[in-house]
Amino acid sequence: MSEPTTVTADSAQEPRRRGKRGPRSDKPERILAFLRNYFTEYHYPPSVRDIVEGCKLSSTSVADYNLKILEREGHIRRDRERARTISLTEPIEPTEPTRIESSTSSLGIPLLGAIAAGTRSLVPEGVDVAHAESRISVTPDMLAGRDPERVFALTVRGDSMIDALIADSDTVILEEATSVDNGQMAAVWLRDENICTLKRLYYEQGQVRLQPENPTMDSIYTDESNMQVQGRVVSVIRHPR
């Protein structure tokens, strides 16, 4: 026969502990640090996939869970119905504007002309360094490891990408490319319209949606045969307003 359990006064009054949580994960802080570095380097928001890769998370659901924590704590704002809408509520320490001049620590890349981001500016078809308007100096970190021989710059005309922190007169740095992944920002030549435009690309059942980052502007739909990707955006030089 087992002995009866002895209950003392102290043990009788002690509350039962259930579901006690361990220490908080460091993932929200890692993501917040990644966001600050990403905004400083690229000047536009990362995608959730960028966060997963940059913070070495196991899935997009883990990233979303921790983004909700940061949002609840007031560190970020975002529109969950749209891609790349994360913004920081805390200001980032300003950096010196990029200087368009020669430097021993800089690289010269060709400025090929203007690209439409809401307006219909024309640029020469294709990437042709021989027709560069000039060359601008950038630091190696602005190329994010890309081959300098495959990088070029365009001046933005219009405000269709304003929510991606790319405004009229800013300079976008692009890597030569003939295709991009869903949701990436690219310079795209539309053959029938004879224009080059800067948009996010989404491939949808044989068509391509060219998505502006401005809620007042409509998407552009075109056939893949009418579209030629010229380059994917690497970084942005924001000019003082």
Instruction: Check whether 210 has a pLDDT greater than 60.
Output: yes
- Average pLDDT rounded to a whole number, residues 171-187: 89
Identify which has the larger pLDDT, 150 or 131: 150
pLDDT at 221: 93
Tokens linked to 57: 């998370």
pLDDT at 115: 79
pLDDT band at 100 (very low <50, low <70, confident <90, very high): very low
Instruction: Check whether 47 has a pLDDT greater than 90.
Output: no
Q: Where are the domains of the chain?
A: 25-88, 107-237
pLDDT at 79: 74
Identify which has the larger pLDDT, 122 or 210: 210
CB atoms within 10 A of CB 136: 23
Domains 25-88 and 107-237 share a fold: no
CATH assignment, 107-237? 2.10.109.10
Q: Is 191 helix (H, G, I), strand (E, B) or coil?
A: coil
Catalytic residue among 47, 121, 160, 235: 160
C-beta of residue 198 within 8 angstroms of C-beta of residue 161: yes
Catalytic residue status for 169: no
Whole-model pTM: value is 0.54
Per-residue model confidence as pLDDT tens digits over 145-172: 788 888 888 888 888 888 888 888 888 9
C-beta of residue 239 within 8 angstroms of C-beta of residue 170: yes
Identify which has the larger pLDDT, 227 or 44: 227
For domain 25-88, say whether CATH 1.25.40.340 is its number.
no
| Ramachandran angles phi, psi of 156, nearest 5° | -85, 135
- Average pLDDT rounded to a whole number, residues 185-203: 89
C-beta of residue 114 within 8 angstroms of C-beta of residue 103: no
pLDDT at 146: 82
Catalytic residue among 87, 199, 219, 225: 199
Catalytic residue status for 160: yes
CA distances from 120 to 20, 42, 116, 127 (A): 60, 25, 5, 18
Most confident of 4-8, 84-88, 216-220: 216-220
Instruction: Check whether 99 has a pLDDT greater than 90.
Output: no
Identify which has the larger pLDDT, 69 or 119: 69
Identify which has the larger pLDDT, 10 or 86: 86
17-21 CB contacts, 8 Å cutoff, 24+ apart: none
Identify which has the larger pLDDT, 84 or 183: 183
Instruction: Check whether 48 has a pLDDT greater than 80.
Output: yes
Identify which has the larger pLDDT, 95 or 89: 89
Per-residue model confidence as pLDDT tens digits over 106-120: 778 888 777 766 443
How confident is the prediction for the chain on average, in pLDDT? 76
